[in-house]
Structures are given as structure tokens and as C-alpha cells.
Amino acid sequence: MHYKKLGNSSLDVSIIGLGTMTWGEQNSQQEAFEQMDYALSQGVNLFDAAEMYPVPPRPETAGRTESYIGNWLADRDCRADIVLATKVVGRSDNLSGAGHIRGGSRLNRDHIRRAVEGSLERLRTDTIDLYQVHWPERDTNFFGQRGYRHNPDGDGIAIADTLEALGELVDEGVIAQIGISNETSWGLMEYLRLSEQRDLPRVVSVQNAYSLLTRQYEVGMAEMGLRESVGLLAYSPLAFGVLSGKYLNDQLPDNSRLALFKRFSRYTGQLSISATGAYAEVAARHNITLTQMALAFVCQQPFVGSCLIGATSMAQLVENIASHSCELTPELIADIEDVAALHPDPAA
């Protein structure tokens, strides 16, 4: 397993990170334990959760994922071996289905402190290694939105107030590093500007979508991340499983995420499916699975700190983790770029 420093922090994270958002909905605690055991045995040390998980978010399951992780950490007594990351819910009226979190979550001091206390209790730990803002407070583009519409009246809690609240928790030793998620170039710039201006903790990571179907991060954000030492934690590198190829030819496997939850339509438009078919042909020509080609492409990007995989079966997990050792030849990369030129960013 390859490891990289996350941003300018002291955290060494595995190039493959373990996403957890299916645990407690599609996966039982026993299955989550099996996944964590295997991932750790393969050198995966970054486990990424959120107070809202599992998804889709429901009052009945909120926090269950963190509880599974906490129970595993207590049972295996391996907290020191894990870089533990979780997230505070963003402004709840910016995401359908999140209103049950604290009766309508906001990114102010009170909500952030209550969120951290809840996560610490469920995770059964005294410290969170990486604490992330799940999505912005203000009205902006995230979760696949296109066409930015400026609405400063909808900014809500200022980023400065959010950052100061996080800084208090860093000073107290409750969290070690801070990150942001589903952010824009302006949002990252503002966090960095405020941290320097007010001597507050510096963001070390951005967790945004990045895959063969979603490469907008390369425009603007990639340069900022490299120049400012802020690592990308790439989520949905398989585009909710679309880049496994299992949904091609109008297939909808039983118990797959897209069969169970119709809300996950970000990567299932005709443009995305057409692009996926073209990438599948490239993978077949080069004798590599589409899954491993897609994940290896993400892992090799210099601005990526870790590629966050997610799996509902052990077979998927084994294949996903093995992708870290896949070498993509220059010829294969050239073929990928040819497809990208014909199918530019089919999913937002």
C-alpha cells in the first residue's frame, strides 16, 4: 500500500481509503467488521465516516455507521492504527432528508460542538484525526449542481464563524486536523485566507467527487490543492458503482444501490452511461477490469490524497483495494483521454 502526507499535516494516509456510508443500511455490523478487518490487513488506514451515515439519511439510522466503527475499534483495540475521519452535517435545508439532524443543522459553534460530542461517543474515541464540514452553509454548487446562481443573501453562517468553532476544538485536542467537503474553489480559498488572517487551523483536505465521469476538480481546484498543500479525498471514484459497468445495457442488479434508492441519479444519465460504455471498451482492450482502471486512474493523480472506495460485498472490496497496485500504461492513459475528449464531464 502506498501512503501520502495529507496536505501539510503529519497524517500519513493510504492511497486507498475506506468509505463507510452503506454500513447500517445495506451492510450489517458483522459485514462492516469484516470489511474493516480486511481493509486494515491490506494496509488501508484511512476510514471515512459522517455523523449522518448511513445513506440515504433517515432518523432511524442516523449515526449507526459511526457506532459500528466505534464498536469495531473497541473490540479490536486498534485505534492507533487508524486515521479516523468523520464529518459534521452542513446546513440541513441544503440537502433533502437531513432535517432530522439536531432539528435542522447549521455550521455554527453550538451545532459543531454538539456534532463532535455525538461522534466521539459513537466512535468510542477521545480524538478525531480529521474532522470535515460535509457541505457548505451557503448557497452554492455541490452534489452535482450545475449553473451557479449568486445568492449572497443565502450565505447564512459565515465561514469565519465555522472555522473559529473548529479551531476551538483543535485547541482542546478533540480534533487533530480539519477538512472540507463538496466545496468550490472560492470556498477553499476563503478557508485558507481566514486561517492565515486569523491564525486559525488550516484545512488539510477537500473531499469532493472525482472519477472518470466527474473531472471538474481538475479545473481550478487541482492547482489550488497542489500549490496550497490541500489533498483531495476523492469520493464516488466509481460513480455509485456505475463505473463497475454493472448498469450497462439497461441492467439494474437486485439489491444494488441504484435499484434500492432512486434518489441516486447523479451518474445515471444517458451521457454518463454512454461514456461508461466507451471506458469499458478501453478497459477490455487493455485487459484490465473497468473497476480497477477507474480506481487506478484516480489513485495516480498527483492532487489526490486518498481514493475513497465503498463496497457492499467482500468481492467488491477485494477488487477495489487491489486497484492501488494497478499500473496504467501511457497507451491506456491516452485511450482514456480520447474517451474524455468525446464525453467531457458527463456527470456534474
Catalytic residues: 53
Give the separation between CA 15 and CA 43, rounded to whole angstroms: 10
H/E segment holding residue 314 = helix 314-322
The string of DSSP codes covering 70-98 is HHHHHHHT-GGG-EEEEEE---GGGSTT-
Residue 227 bridge partners (DSSP)? none
Give me the phi and psi of 199, to 5 degrees please. Answer: 55, 50
Give the separation between CA 273 and CA 282, rounded to whole angstroms: 14
Give the separation between CA 283 and CA 319, rounded to whole angstroms: 15
CA atoms within 13 A on the CB side of 271: 13
Instruction: Kindly list the distances between the CA atom of residue 43 and the CA atoms of 6, 77, 288, in Å, as whole numbers in the listed order.
Output: 16, 16, 23
Amino acid (1-letter code) at residue 314: M
Q: How many residues does the chain have?
A: 348
Residue 13 bridge partners (DSSP)? 4
- For residue 84, the tally of other CB atoms under 10 A from its CB is 23
Give the separation between CA 232 and CA 168, rounded to whole angstroms: 24
H/E segment holding residue 331 = helix 330-342
CA-closest candidate to residue 130, choices 84, 162, 66: 84
Give me the phi and psi of 200, to 5 degrees please. Answer: -110, 165
Give me the phi and psi of 329, to 5 degrees please. Answer: -70, 160
Give the separation between CA 308 and CA 323, rounded to whole angstroms: 12
